Structure 1
């Protein structure tokens, strides 16, 4: 009797055997509902067999094989197997990560979605008779008359408030609800086609090089300064793939970049089926997009790191935008790098991949220098009249600071306000102030659950921990000495916003950070206001540093730039340079000349000199030389064994035992366990043990021998996980 091997979402590496009399070779990759102890789970059939893997075991039958869903193709199974092997994570849990949440549940999947259409009463409504303020109602009635049926996704494309209006229409009897097959409906296309701009000489050279490289696997690193038109190169390459009947996958680092990127590509490719995949999608929407991709009906898939696993039977091109961004690395559970897996997938499918950035990661730059990647360069801005912004350092040793702002920066903001230009004040700290202190006794408001300070959120009159979410009311007096003069320390976006309102009372100021953009439609509306010229000064965090194009913005002021200069993390300077270069690139992207003012107490630091020249190559080569001399990545390969428990001694005891159990393999160094940089998080004491080798193969061999031993020596009160190629110390 045929046996199917099913990978389940449990912390066990081997698949489980089940009886399946009706199983056939085409079922490999399909989902199966199976009994597992007292539970019923959904897993993926990864193989068929004639004999059980363990003799003498009575096998249970499969409850059902979900043949109404497309199976996971062989390349996705191969990518999952690679991921499991490289990151030492159970295959079943890897496969569960790549599936939409709705497919992980054992209840039947509803493959239909609701649609709304006009009733006779709705057709009889004259939109002209509606009140002047009922603009959205008129738009919805017009769309229903033209399209006939509207899905929830189409409603949201018209307006985030459209579902509420539809409920009102339903109550009035103007519309009725119907169901349609989930996989038949294509995403809405309410976009007008745009006219692509002419390519610059460098853009055309980059495009010609990739085209000459052929359709097979070639990894390209596109080094392009901000504003150089990397997205335009992506668009032409995607157009080539679509012309060949292939699919394209475009990965972006941040969820908040996906809607604007999607809108841009919908306008560029109005006839293409474009879907997005990221964790903020509703369950039904993500399932629908996933199915369109799996059936080959989605021409372009845009997404964050999880989209790297999307089933794409006609894949012809992969693009990773802002490839240096740390957001591509998952920091919990399956700790994978989507950028690295994208390269692996391109190699497995034998398709080209383009990694783009103004500040590539040192790993990618090292690969380009060594010839593993082919280098493409865009050294000038795409708009001919646009020039790189002028950078000026404001010496904080000489210029007094008032509420985080120096006089030169305030004067520059006032000048832009008079000229009708926009400015951006950047500080990578949300909230009002990073800490609350008592000047009398030195007390600092700390998080009771983390080794971190509580951040002051003055508008909410709350203290919040940005690590675990703990909140508390701002005390009226010092808990230690009773003094009433508690003082906020440092600058956050809220404090800068208030200071700017005082310095520039006539300015229209908009704060953009995680707090102000919590609502689903908040960020798109804010970006619309900026583009429409309804904002004079932006105050924001790194949310504003990537991918945004503000033609009227000519000044960028950077506050608290020194925070990343001196850190225990050896990647801190690399990240700071990338961040500052990205935010500087927001200035002067159109014809007006841009200026960047950086407030710093260390104007002589080499990082600022490299930033002033915009010379990424020189800076990256200097860092590479330092890393090689110190034996750090990318010249070595690392894995971190992270552990946490309620007591630090328990955590360290486990790691010492793990160190003692480590095999002795020449060429692999096992360091002593140490507390993590943030030693307490959410009530758990954290420590880590570093393993390092100059050979990726030796490190993998070591981990494959060591981890099974560790799993046999589990400690109940200690939770541990392995992080291969860690980005955070």
Structure 2
């Protein structure tokens, strides 16, 4: 409201102020003044454009509307209001604030990650001529003169455009010189990134839709056959003779331009002469899906019982853990529950850990739910993600399938959140802040919106199973596979014995695995081979002096990729050519050591020349639809052997796979981390679950140098609860989650000594109040240097009970800020990771 009655009964103008969330790492909200013209329009959750500092223009979100001007600075006016209907809900703003507090970051960092880039305005630096400058007497270089001529013609140019005009890479010095001479002005052009998709269409002008005028037009074009063909093409698709109202919708322009028998110039002439008119409509970027009435989900008797048990548990618990073995038909149960929630009129969010999983599941769900369902993941373009976001706001999508970032979508009426494969580490965000865990955030959202959460996994995380055992979550178990399918037969292959038999120091393919692959190919069955390391070889080494090429930015060896013939750092992306001779001793004896997915793929093609082999890892799935294509080809049996990393363990379902081979099991088990045995059980059980579907029994071969390892025998027996009991016993003894909370602090500095000193100073400060038992380190992490910065880590262990977590976090933040303010550590970073995994 712009006015209100005062005590005397007259009206007075009200000045409103808004506190906004800015997508920058600052600790407070900023207050801006609302222009009078926006008083009736401004709402909490709306996006606004603001000036921040002297030059920056940012998209902010309104968090509060009030009448109190700031006391310590003069409030600037909002520049623009972007939304008549808010794009962010009050529940989301509340969630952003909770997330910033819990994960010890700034609310602006949360907003920056939460909003799709397409919903954030960008400002682009451009240059224009100074209208008051005297160019006649200006002292200009050749390139400066060329740039001015280009500006006289184009009015304004972006830095990129200026660079292209001159064919010069570094344009900044040239622009700086012209600015100093006051010949050009630099300004910021604001543009909204999101662009709706538009479809160009053609229709007859109104005066030609009457039968009589249309007949006259057709006769007049008899001597112009090309134009007549265009007209007849339109009338075939849009029969205005039968119903003149059909003309309003017109016909896609592509129906003319992509038809090789029609003349584009004839269409242009007809449009120019006012017979046709061209117009645009906004269309969805997503294909239209109509539910297939023939696709029905029929649950087995046991699945019906499980679905009923889940609903019964939901009467008392907000969170239920569904522990179902691989291939038990959890997806069908999910669909049954989604349909029940839909009938109640509520929204559903279905989280998956990886994009790889969405390909198979989405195609199944689309046939059932059609256009009610949206899909949200990082392989989508900015514009596609914005359309899903807007679809949730408008009510077009009441059901979304997505990866971890889907927790930020603007739901306001959630009835159910499903977290499939809840144990997966992919649900954890590592960089940038907030370093949240999507599974844990669903519990926060559920409390906000009073909805239910279903966690599903064949190998639940120790923390979730503990919560279920302690009665905090409901627990429902499904211990048999769907239908007639049997669990695979898992066998260990002793590599130590194979090496002795074959008299080789190292071996990749055991004779047992090779023979099993041959047998499967002979009967036209498919094979999955799992190696949790991509690339051709982990590293190269000189046989003469043992020199290993390392990344110049990180303390790791470079991985050799044969396909692209390059050495690549998997931490910072640094790439260099493989050395022809050793840079240390000059020897020509450079060899690859170890093996990754690329090397396995290469050797398979040599061993099985007739087999169709494909690799699925980060390197082969960078393109938008590459996951989908590989999975589709494998489903259609165009690929016989699929080699891959952890992507293969993510709940994919292939009917014809009867053999799974697991390489390098010992490295997974012996990784130096308190979760290594749990993760080894999870990864190997999950990838084993790809073998054997329907009436085909599966075989899993795990290659190991130590067949006596306890965790391997628990995998063979499918003894999840045995693994859990051992884990929970160790966790309690050594004070690890779920019995404690962990907070990891990492110092980063280009100087190794400075990073170590800062970490020690921080550890000493923290110890004063928290005590040495709670503060571990500082220690050097496994990779001590990443992107030219040296790392040190401090681990804080906090007991779950009888501790003021909020006060402890505040104390940690204070000590962090004190260290950062020290003159010695100007370029220091201290990264906080709450609940690291």
Taking structure 1 as the reference length, the TM-score comes to: 0.89
1 CA distance for matches of 2:62 and 2:621? Answer: 41
Residue in 2 that maps onto 1:139: none
Q: How far apart are 1:464 and its partner, in Å?
A: 1.2
1:723 — aligned with what?
833
- Secondary structure at the counterpart of residue 678 of structure 1: coil
Residues in 2 aligned to 1:269 and 1:701: alpha-carbon distance in whole angstroms: 47
Contact 2:322 2:477 in 1 (8 A): yes
- Would the alpha carbon gap of residues 542 and 663 (structure 1) be closer, same or farther in structure 2, given more than 3 Å must change? closer
Q: How does 1:318-467 map to 2 (within 5 A)?
A: 318-333=417-432, 334-382=434-482, 384-400=483-499, 404-467=508-571
The 5-angstrom pairing of residues 252-291 of structure 1 reads 252-270=352-370, 272-291=371-390
Structure 1, residues 28-82: CA drift from partner, whole Å, max 9, x if none? 1211211211222111111123323x52532212222333342422211111111
Q: Structure 1 residue 118: deviation in Å?
A: 6.7
Q: Which residue of 2 aligns with 1:303?
A: 402
TM-score normalised to structure 2 length: 0.78
1:19 matched residue in structure 2: 33
Gaps of 5+ in 2: 1-14, 123-189, 205-228, 235-246, 269-276
The aligned counterpart of 2:74 is 58
Counterpart position of 1:212: 312
Which residue number in structure 1 is paired with residue 95 of structure 2?
79
After superposition, the C-alpha distances for 1:160-188 in whole angstroms (9 at most, x for unaligned) are: xx9x9799999789999854357x88752
CA distance in 1, matches of 2:775, 2:832: 14
SS in 2 for 1:475: coil
Q: Does residue 690 of the first structure (1) align with residue 706 of the second (2)?
A: no
The alpha carbon displacement at 1:216 in A equals 8.6
**1:8 maps to which of 22, 27, 34:** 22
2: distance between equivalents of 1:167 and 1:429?
49
- SS of the residue 2:730 aligns to: helix
In 2, the alpha carbon distance for the partners of 1:535 and 1:685 equals 44
- After superposition, the Cα gap between the structure-2 partners of 1:288 and 1:451, relative to the gap in structure 1 and judged at 3 Å, is same
The aligned counterpart of 1:646 is 750
Q: 1:185 to 1:461 in 2, by over 3 A?
A: closer
Matched residues in 1 for 2:261 and 2:376: separation?
30
Partner in structure 2 of residue 138 of structure 1: none
Aligned to 2:274: none
Q: Is the 8 A contact 1:663 1:702 kept in 2?
A: no
Confirm or deny: 8 A CA contact 2:291 2:369 kept in the other structure. no
CA contact (8 A) 2:581 2:588 kept: yes
The correspondence of residues 145-164 of structure 1 with structure 2, limited to 5 A, is none
Contact 1:663 1:705 in 2 (8 A): no
> Residue in 2 aligned with 1:180?
281
Range that drifts further, 88-97 or 633-642: 88-97
SS of equivalent residue, structure 2 residue 496: coil
Larger radius of gyration: 2
Measured in 2, the distance between the counterparts of 1:46 and 1:453 equals: 47
Tell me the equivalent position of 2:783. 678
Q: Secondary structure at 1:673's aligned position in 2?
A: strand
Alpha-carbon shift at residue 659 of structure 1 (Å): 2.4
- Listed one character per residue, the Cα deviations across residues 544-601 of structure 1 (whole Å, up to 9, x for unaligned) are 2112111010000111111122222111221121111111000002211100001100
1:243-286 deviations in whole A, cap 9, x for unaligned? 1221110111112322332221101223x421112222111111
Distance 1:25 1:529, change over 3 A: closer
- The aligned residue for residue 765 of structure 2 is 661
- Deviations along 1:492-520, whole A, 9 cap, x unmatched? 12211222222222222222222222332
Tell me whether 253-262 or 5-14 shows the greater mean CA deviation. Answer: 253-262
Segment drifting more, 370-379 vs 449-458: 449-458
State the partner residue of 2:689: 585
Deviations 1:436-481 (A, max 9, x none): 1122221222222211111111222211111111111122222222
- Aligned counterpart in structure 2 of residue 576 of structure 1, from 680, 687, 707: 680
1:114 equivalent in structure 2: 198
User: How far off its partner does 1:200 sit?
Assistant: 2.5
Instruction: Find the counterpart in structure 2 of residue 482 from structure 1.
Output: 586
* CA distance in structure 1 between the partners assigned to 2:259 and 2:685 by the alignment: 45
Determine if contact 2:325/2:481 at 8 Å carries over to the other structure.
yes
Flag the 1:371–1:166 CA change in 2: closer, same or farther, 3 A: farther
- Offset, 1:357: 0.8
Instruction: Decide whether the 8 Å contact of 1:316 with 1:351 is kept in 2.
Output: yes
Closer, same or farther in 2 for the Cα pair 1:352/1:499, shift >3 Å? Answer: same
Q: Distance in 2 between matches of 1:582 and 1:495?
A: 23
Residue 140 of structure 1 is matched in structure 2 by none
**Equivalent of 1:243 in 334, 343, 347:** 343
Q: Is the 8 A contact 1:114 1:178 kept in 2?
A: no
Equivalent residue for 1:700?
806
Q: CA–CA distance in 1 between the matches of 2:783 and 2:230?
A: 60
Output the CA distance in 1 between the equivalents of 2:437 and 2:252.
Answer: 37
Q: Alpha carbons of 1:441 and 1:84: their partners in 2 closer, same or farther (altered >3 Å)?
A: same
Q: Secondary structure at the match of 2:652?
A: coil
1:433 offset after TM fit, Å? 1.0
Which among 17, 27, 45 is matched to residue 62 of structure 2? 45
SS of corresponding position for 2:497: coil
Q: Post-superposition shift, 1:662?
A: 2.7
The separation in 2 between residues aligned to 1:69 and 1:166, in whole angstroms, is 41
Structure-1 separation of matches of 2:769 and 2:259:
66
Give the whole-Å Cα distance in 1 for the aligned partners of 2:452 and 2:811: 35
| Matches of 1:457 and 1:92, distance apart in 2 | 39
Secondary structure of the equivalent of 1:263?
helix
For 1:186 and 1:542, the matched residues in 2 are separated by: 29
User: After the TM superposition, which segments of 4 or more aligned residues of structure 1 sit over 6 Å from their partners?
Assistant: 118-123, 147-151, 164-177
CA–CA separation in structure 2 for the residues paired with 1:167 and 1:246: 49
Corresponding residue for 1:492?
596
Aligned length in residues: 696
**In structure 1, what is the equivalent of residue 647 of structure 2?**
543
Distance (Å, rounded) in 2 between the aligned partners of 1:544 and 1:169: 48
CA contact (8 A) 2:230 2:263 kept: no
Name the Cα RMSD after superposition: 3.0
The alpha-carbon distance between structure 1 residues 713 and 482, as it changes in their structure 2 partners (threshold 3 A), is closer
**Structure 1 stretch 487-496 or stretch 637-646: which is displaced more?**
487-496
Tell me what 1:130 maps to: none
